[in-house]
Structure 1
């Protein structure tokens, strides 16, 4: 069974607590459970991780080379700053989907640019935590699982 790695960047561990008016009340544990359930329904394994540390995210992306069928990534604020994450994703051979819970294009100007977007096969923004479900369904289509 193919495995999809779902990575979450800084502050997403506070999902459901931090700025619920922007990000909603769903927790990251809720997202993980929903993704695992959907993964089982559509025939893929799902591994979800979160880190506030850029280097750890880079390490996980590098370790995913040759061992996972795709990456879904919500890089959080690293979207707008991390060439290191972009470089790691550029060395990853399988599909990448970028997810943002909020619509980054309706927010502060500095959030309008994402380094990760230039590598991603698709970008889902502004769909709340449902964006993870959409990304998982799309990546399964891309890998033909």
Structure 2
């Protein structure tokens, strides 16, 4: 077996190495690795025997639209393998009376993971999150308040 297939313990440093190899900006804060995109704040952390990825969509939706948000999250969750979309009330944040949407995916790392397994999980999770958040942006265009960076060639 090669180094890429050897199963080793998973920690924040291992996740950071994957992100660095993909040339993605990130920072390590203790046992949490943070990265993001124009539309998402993303964190990877070990929680007991799981590597957990949690992502927050930067869109903010009025709480009055809760029925539409429930429907959109339910439709996405039924049609996609990952990530799982959830929504929550921003009751303790500004602006009040708004909803946020997050995405999550987990990997059982009880026995560790190989470099290949970890890399595939991290990269496919980021891709799935961006796809889910594109779906949200198309579903709730008024919630998109950021500019997507792009190359002007």
* TM norm. shorter chain > 0.5: no
The structure that is helix-richer by fraction is 1
Which is richer in strand?
2
TM-score (norm 2): 0.33
The TM-score normalised by the length of structure 1 is 0.35
Say which one has the larger Rg.
2
